[in-house]
Chain A
Amino acid sequence: MKSNGRIWFPAGVLVSLGLGWFGFPAMLYRAEPQPVAFSHKAHTGQKGGMKCEDCHALREDGSFSGIPGIEKCAGCHASAIGSTAAEKRLVDEYVSQNREIPWLVYARQPENVWFSHAAHIKLGKLTCEQCHGEHGKTDTLRPYEEDRISGYSRDVRGNPGGKKMKTCEDCHGRCGVGQQGCLDCHK
C-alpha cells in the first residue's frame, strides 16, 4: 500500500511539537533533591512561630545574610527535638559535625547580577511573599532543577514565574521605579 503523502509533513510537525514542548524540558533540567527535607511550615506556622527575618535577616551593613548557617540551626537543633528522620539526619550529618548544609538555592542569580534585598525591602517596602510566593508556608522543599547546559537554576532562567530579568523589568515598570540602566543590576 502506498502511503498518503499528505500526512508526513503534519506528522513531523506534531512530533517536533511534542518533543520540543514536553520532551526537551524534561531532558534539559536535572532535578536534584535538597540535602535536608526542610519544612518552612513547621518553623513558621503556629507550631514554630518564626518569621522570615528570624533566619533570613539583613546584616548591620544592609547586606542580606541569605540562608542561615548551621550555627543558626544548632541554636534549636543541637539535639533532635522531634522524631522525624529528616531532623535526625540534620543533627547527625550537619549539626553534630558542624558542617554547613549545601543548600541548592532556587533563586541564586548569575555572578553578573547584583541584587540588593535591602533596597527592595526597605525602600521598595516589598514583602517576602511578593517575590517568593508562599515558599515560607510549604511543608517540603521541591527538587532543585538545574539547566544541564547553562548550569543555572530553572527558577532563574526557565520557569515563567522565576526570577528572570523580565520579572525585574516588569515589576520596576509597574512600580514606577523608572528607566533602569544596565549597570543598575549588572555591575
Chain B
Amino acid sequence: MKVGRRDLFKFAAGSVAGLAITPVPWKLLEDTALWSQNWSWIPRPPRGEIGTKFTACTLCPAGCAVRARCVGGQPVALAGVAEHPATRGVLCALGLAGHHLPYHPLRVRQALRGGRPVGLDTAAAEIAAALVEMRRSGSKNLVAVLDERPGRTASWLYRRWLADMPQGRYVTPPEREGATLAALAELIEGDAGPLGLDLERVRTILSFGAPVLDGWSTPGRVLRRRERFQIVQVETRYSRTAALADQWVPIRPGTEAAFALALAHVLIEERLYDEAAARRAGDFAAYRKVAGEFPPERVAGLSGVAAEQVIQTARLVAGRRPAIAVGGGDPGGGPLGREEEMAIGGLNLLLGGLERDGGIVRRRAVPAPKELEAGAAPVTEIQDLPNGSVGLLFIDASAAVDALPWRLVEQKLASGKALVVSLAAYRAGYAGHADYLIPAPMYLESLQDVPAPADAAEASFSLSTALVAPPQGVVEPVEFVGRVTGNAGTLSDWIKRRAAAVYRTGRGTVTTYTTGKVEPLAEVGSAEKFWNALTEGACWQDERVGGRAAPGVALLGRHGDGAARLRRAAAGRLDAGEAPAGQYPLVLAPFGWRGATGNTALSPVMSKVYQESGLRRAGNQAAVHPATGAACGLTDGCRGVIETQCGSCGVAVFFDPAVMPGVIQVAVGPEPPRTRSVLEVCDLEGGCSWRAARARIWKV
C-alpha cells in the first residue's frame, strides 16, 4: 500500500482532532500552571511539628505582641496575643503579613558600595579609614547616627559611643506621634519627664490629623476603648479616621494652629476652660491676647471651617471631659510643626487634661543600663543640625516607620565630601542615595527590645525574639557601627543587661502570654527567670505613676518667643512661604500610613484580603477633586506632573469627590522603580515639616 503525502496530512489532522477530545492538552495546561507553584526557589515552610512561639512586632513603635504559628520551627502565620495588657490581640495588616518580609525581592543580602557588591569586611575597613582620615585632618565635620527608632537598647549604645567622639551627634527624625507630648513638656515648668496619654479613661479625642483609628498609638489600646470616647477629626483629607470619627472637620492644609487658637478663643470667651489650669499658667493673660486675635469668624476665612462649627466643636470638646487634643501629623505627610503642637498643647492645658485621669499623665522611662545612661550623647532632631555639617552619616534604617524626605537629610551633609552609610534590610528609601548599603536583619531575624511607645501611659518592656535565621552576611546595624568606630559590643548582651535593669526596679507586673498569668515583677524570682520569661513570651508593664500636684505651666512656652511664633504659624503656613499663589494655585498634601511610607517593604498578601486600593494608595498616586481635575485639564486615570518650587515629579491621577477642591493628595509609599518620590518636591517649611506646599499639576 502506498502512503502519499496527502494521507500523512489526513492522519496528522485526525491526530490533532482526536487529541482535542483527550485529557492531554487540558491536563498539560493545568500541570504547567501547577508546575510553577513548585519551582525550587519559591520559599515554602518545611513540613514538621506545629507549634506556637511568641515575639513582639518591631515594624512600628507600638510593639504589639505576636503569636506565631510555626511549622517545623518556621513561622507560617502571625496573630495578636489577647493576653497582652496593651495590644489585646490586635495586629494590623502590616503585622499580620510580617513573616513574609524577609523574603521580599528588595531584600539586601550583601554589602553594596555605589550599588555594586563589596565584602562586608572591605566596607567596614573603608568606612573606618574614612573616619580616621576625618580625625587626622582635623575636620570639623560631624559624625552622626540617624536613628529612625529611638529608645531601643541599640539607640542607647549609639548615644553612649557617640558621646565619646568630639564630633559625634545622635540624630533622630522629627518627633511624630510623641510630638504633642514633647510640646507639652516644653510648656511645663521644671522637668516634666516622659508623658503619656490615658486612653483608657478619655471621653473625647480632638485629633489634628492624627490617624487615630488607622495605625496610631497602640491600635489595641485605641480599638479596645473605641466605644467609650468620641473622636473629632480635624483634617483636610477624608481619611479612614475621618470617615470613622464621630465628627469630621475638614480644614484647609496648614491652618491647624489657627483652628486650635480659635478653639482656645471660644473656650476662654465662654469660660469653658479649666480655671485651675489657667491659674497655674503664668502667661494666661498673654495667651488670652493671642487667642483673642483668632476669633472663629477670622479663622473661618483662614481654615474654611464655618465659625459656627468652630464654636460647636469647642463646646463639644469642653462638654465631654476628660478630653485630649493630639497632633503628631501624618506618617507620610510629615509632622505638624512645633508651633501647631504648641497650640494643641495649650488646648490640652486649657481643658485641664494635665495630670488627670483620661488626660495627659506622667510615666517613668524604661530603665537602661547605667553604663549607657551615664554620659549618653544628647538627642538632636535632624532639623536642628546645622546645614552642611555632617561628614559621616550612618542611617539606621532597619526600623524605619515614617517618611523622611531625602532632601532634609541631604542638606545636612557637608557638600561634596560626606560619606553616607545606610544600614537597612531593603534596597528602598535612602538606600539609593547612600555610598554604602550594609545589610541589616529584618524583623523576626534578630533579637530586639521593644520599649514602650511614645504615648504609653506607663513604661513597658518586651522582646522581639528571632524566629527566622537571617541570611549570611547580614549584620546588626549597631554592631557594625561599633566595629567601624572602635566600640565592641553585642546587642543581645546589652538587651539582657537592660532587662536586668528593668528587673532591678522591682515595680510593675509581668504578663505571661501562654497562661495569661499576671504576677508582680518582685515575685518572678531572679533576673535570669525574668529574662527567660521575656524570651518565651511575656511583657513587663510598669505601675502607673501616682497623682501629683499639677505643675506650673506656660501656655506660650518657656522661651519668650512663643506668642510671635504662634501668630506667624496661625496666620497660615502656606502664605508664609515664598511660592506665589498665582503660579502655584493648588496645594500639595502628601499622606501615608505608618510603616508603609517607602523606607521599608510591604507584603502584597494583605491585598488579597482587601482591595489594594482600600488598604492604601500606591506611592505617587494623586487624588484630586473632579472639578479641580477638570480645571487643570486632567482626566481620571491620566498621568500627570506635579510641580512645586522645589521641583517636579510624575504621578498617576485619580478623581475623588472626597478630596477638598484645590488640593492634590499624593500617597507616599513604595514608589514604582525609577520614580522620584513626591516628598522630594515638598517644601520643607523651615526644615521640620513638609505636609503642604503650593503646587500646580498638568497632564502628560
Proximity string of chain B (1-20) to chain A, C-beta cutoff 8 Å, 1 when within and 0 when not: 11110111011111111110
Contact pick for A17, options B4, B6, B21, B32, CB 8 Å: B21
Provide the bound-state CA to CA distance between A52 and B428, in Å: 53
Say yes or no: A151-B608 contact (C-beta < 8 A), given A15-B18, A16-B19: no
Residue of A nearest to B50 (CB): A63
Interface residue B613 (Cβ < 8 Å from any Cβ of A): no
Say yes or no: A16-B18 contact (C-beta < 8 A), given A149-B28, A149-B31, A151-B35: yes
Contacts of A112 in B (CB 8 A): 37
Say yes or no: A13-B608 contact (C-beta < 8 A), given A24-B24, A150-B31: no
Say yes or no: A110-B14 contact (C-beta < 8 A), given A1-B2, A3-B2, A20-B24: no
Interface residue A53 (Cβ < 8 Å from any Cβ of B): no
Provide the bound-state CA to CA distance between A112 and B31, in Å: 15
Residue of B nearest to A9 (CB): B14
Interface residue B30 (Cβ < 8 Å from any Cβ of A): yes
Contacts of B583 in A (CB 8 A): none
Say yes or no: A157-B34 contact (C-beta < 8 A), given A9-B13, A13-B14, A25-B23: yes
Q: Are B22 and A10 in contact (CB under 8 A)?
A: no
Q: Are A16 and B4 in contact (CB under 8 A)?
A: no
Interface residue B611 (Cβ < 8 Å from any Cβ of A): no
Q: Are A28 and B27 in contact (CB under 8 A)?
A: yes
Proximity string of chain A (35-58) to chain B, C-beta cutoff 8 Å, 1 when within and 0 when not: 000000000000000000000000
Say yes or no: A12-B34 contact (C-beta < 8 A), given A17-B22, A28-B27: no
**Interface Cβ pair total, 8 Å cutoff:** 107
Interface residues of B in 26-44 (CB under 8 A from A): 27-28, 30-32, 34-35, 37-38, 44
Proximity string of chain B (364-392) to chain A, C-beta cutoff 8 Å, 1 when within and 0 when not: 00000000000000000000000000000
Interface residue B52 (Cβ < 8 Å from any Cβ of A): yes
For the complex, would chain B's binding face be called helix, strand, loop or mixed by DSSP majority?
Answer: helix
Q: Are A150 and B23 in contact (CB under 8 A)?
A: no
Most buried by A among B2, B14, B28, B38: B14
Contacts of B32 in A (CB 8 A): 149
Interface residues of B in 160-191 (CB under 8 A from A): none
Interface residues of A in 11-32 (CB under 8 A from B): 11-17, 19-21, 24-25, 28
Q: Are A11 and B11 in contact (CB under 8 A)?
A: yes
Contact pick for A150, options B10, B11, B34, B45, CB 8 Å: B34
Q: Are A151 and B15 in contact (CB under 8 A)?
A: no
Interface residue B609 (Cβ < 8 Å from any Cβ of A): yes
Q: Are A1 and B1 in contact (CB under 8 A)?
A: yes
Residue of B nearest to A182 (CB): B608
Min CB gap B441→A, angstroms: 25
Provide the bound-state CA to CA distance between A17 and B18, in Å: 6
Q: Are B18 and A149 in contact (CB under 8 A)?
A: no
Provide the bound-state CA to CA distance between A15 and B28, in Å: 18
Contacts of A61 in B (CB 8 A): 50, 52
Min CB gap B662→A, angstroms: 40
Q: Are B23 and A20 in contact (CB under 8 A)?
A: yes
Contacts of A170 in B (CB 8 A): none
Contact pick for A20, options B4, B14, B22, B38, CB 8 Å: B22
Q: Are B34 and A20 in contact (CB under 8 A)?
A: no
Say yes or no: A5-B24 contact (C-beta < 8 A), given A15-B18, A149-B32: no
Contact pick for B18, options A2, A12, A24, A28, CB 8 Å: A12
Q: Are B15 and A13 in contact (CB under 8 A)?
A: yes
Interface residue A152 (Cβ < 8 Å from any Cβ of B): yes
Provide the bound-state CA to CA distance between A3 and B11, in Å: 12
Contacts of A157 in B (CB 8 A): 30-31, 34
Provide the bound-state CA to CA distance between A59 and B49, in Å: 11
Contacts of B44 in A (CB 8 A): 111
Min CB gap A92→B, angstroms: 25
Residue of A nearest to B43 (CB): A111
Q: Are B34 and A21 in contact (CB under 8 A)?
A: no
Q: Are B2 and A12 in contact (CB under 8 A)?
A: no
Proximity string of chain A (109-127) to chain B, C-beta cutoff 8 Å, 1 when within and 0 when not: 0111000000000000000
Min CB gap B193→A, angstroms: 43
Q: Are B6 and A16 in contact (CB under 8 A)?
A: no
Provide the bound-state CA to CA distance between A147 and B19, in Å: 20
Most buried by B among A9, A14, A110, A111: A9
Q: Are A147 and B18 in contact (CB under 8 A)?
A: no
Say yes or no: A21-B22 contact (C-beta < 8 A), given A3-B2, A149-B32: yes
Contacts of B37 in A (CB 8 A): 110-112, 150
Contacts of B8 in A (CB 8 A): 8
Interface residue A175 (Cβ < 8 Å from any Cβ of B): no
Q: Are B2 and A152 in contact (CB under 8 A)?
A: no
Provide the bound-state CA to CA distance between A111 and B17, in Å: 36
Interface residues of A in 41-86 (CB under 8 A from B): 59, 61, 63
Interface residue A183 (Cβ < 8 Å from any Cβ of B): yes
Min CB gap A7→B, angstroms: 9
Residue of A nearest to B4 (CB): A3
Q: Are B14 and A3 in contact (CB under 8 A)?
A: no
Say yes or no: A24-B13 contact (C-beta < 8 A), given A17-B21, A59-B50: no
Provide the bound-state CA to CA distance between A14 and B15, in Å: 8
Q: Are A3 and B18 in contact (CB under 8 A)?
A: no
Interface residues of B in 540-571 (CB under 8 A from A): none
Say yes or no: A3-B3 contact (C-beta < 8 A), given A59-B50, A150-B34, A183-B609: yes
Say yes or no: A151-B38 contact (C-beta < 8 A), given A3-B2, A25-B23, A183-B608: yes
Say yes or no: A12-B12 contact (C-beta < 8 A), given A2-B2, A111-B37, A150-B35: yes
Contact pick for A21, options B3, B7, B23, CB 8 Å: B23
Contacts of B23 in A (CB 8 A): 20-21, 24-25
Q: Are B11 and A9 in contact (CB under 8 A)?
A: yes
Q: Are B18 and A14 in contact (CB under 8 A)?
A: yes
Contact pick for A16, options B3, B7, B14, CB 8 Å: B14
Contacts of A151 in B (CB 8 A): 34-35, 38
Contacts of A15 in B (CB 8 A): 11, 14-15, 18
Q: Are A3 and B1 in contact (CB under 8 A)?
A: yes
Interface residues of B in 73-98 (CB under 8 A from A): 77
Q: Are B14 and A12 in contact (CB under 8 A)?
A: yes
Min CB gap A159→B, angstroms: 12
Contacts of A183 in B (CB 8 A): 608-609
Q: Are B35 and A149 in contact (CB under 8 A)?
A: yes
Residue of A nearest to B38 (CB): A151
Provide the bound-state CA to CA distance between A20 and B27, in Å: 10
Provide the bound-state CA to CA distance between A21 and B22, in Å: 6
- Sample of 5 A–B contacts (CB below 8 Å): A20-B22, A112-B37, A149-B31, A150-B34, A150-B35
Interface residues of B (CB under 8 A from A): 1-4, 6-8, 10-19, 21-24, 27-28, 30-32, 34-35, 37-38, 44-45, 50, 52, 77, 608-609
Q: A11-B14, A12-B13, A150-B30 are in contact. List 5 more A-B contacts (CB 8 A).
A: A3-B7, A20-B21, A20-B24, A24-B23, A150-B35
Top 5 nearest A-B pairs (CB, nearest first) are A20-B22, A12-B14, A16-B18, A150-B34, A13-B18
